[in-house]
Structure 1
């Protein structure tokens, strides 16, 4: 039996996300320290970092809104094309068991297909 345990895919994904988050935080801290070294006050750097974060969030929300709008439009177009011009207000002919046996009947109850009333197999 193997004594070393394998890392699951979820754990690998979690570690990758954690490394990405640490890299982002390290870059943000490095940029903030660079601004402070250039003479920008600490409060100013914090405010600038938050402005950049909120601007990125705004761009992300703007792009996702338009993407969702395009997808909804495509869905409506596909749904409209899928109908194929059927008019649902018109009554439709259907196969059913009626007064003259099983057959094709109109919406008002008349049998449309030819049949012989004396045929025993026509019921």
Structure 2
């Protein structure tokens, strides 16, 4: 028993739309070839011109798709860098503090590492 799926997915709808556009383009290509032949052009020349026009249209579409994808990629990278910079601004480093630590009283950073110069053998 086959189940029906009332709502087609976005990829399925996009595929169907692409197939309709391709069939429309092929139909118009056939019409163009037939009109050239009806106008008195040789059949071989008409098919050659038609194929060149079809390749030109597909090339222009691929060119536009490439630049669209490049723009989307650049925008995504820009948003990624902006988000990273915003996170870096939020993380403010804690200034070093004078306190008692594992190595005695001194200047310690936020990780508990003593950063001031000291000599453990020095007696005060």
Q: TM-score range by the shorter chain?
A: 0.5 to 0.7
TM-score scaled to structure 1, two decimals?
0.53
Query: Within 5 A, what are the aligned runs for 1:18-57?
Result: 24-57=25-58
* Distance of aligned partners of 1:78 and 1:15 in 2 relative to their CA distance in 1, 3 Å threshold: closer
* Distance of aligned partners of 1:61 and 1:27 in 2 relative to their CA distance in 1, 3 Å threshold: closer
Which of these residues, 106, 109, 122, is aligned with residue 110 of structure 2? Answer: 106
Task: Give yes or no for the alignment of 1:86 onto 2:88.
Answer: yes
CA distance in 1 between counterparts of 2:3 and 2:17 reads: 16
Q: What do the CA deviations read for 1:42-92 (whole angstroms, capped 9, x no partner)? A: 0111101111111011101110111111111111110111032628xxxx6
Question: How large is the Cα RMSD of the aligned pairs?
Answer: 3.9
CA distance in 1 between counterparts of 2:17 and 2:25 reads: 12
Aligned residue number for residue 77 of structure 2: 76
CA distance in 1 between counterparts of 2:81 and 2:64 reads: 26
* Distance of aligned partners of 1:23 and 1:74 in 2 relative to their CA distance in 1, 3 Å threshold: closer
Gaps of 5+ in 2: 95-101, 103-108, 115-124
TM-score scaled to structure 2, two decimals?
0.53
Give 3-state SS (helix, strand or coil) of 2:88's partner. Answer: coil
Aligned residue number for residue 114 of structure 1: none
Shift of 1:30: 2.8
* Distance of aligned partners of 1:45 and 1:84 in 2 relative to their CA distance in 1, 3 Å threshold: same
Do 2:36 and 2:46's aligned partners in 1 also have CA atoms closer than 8 Å?
yes
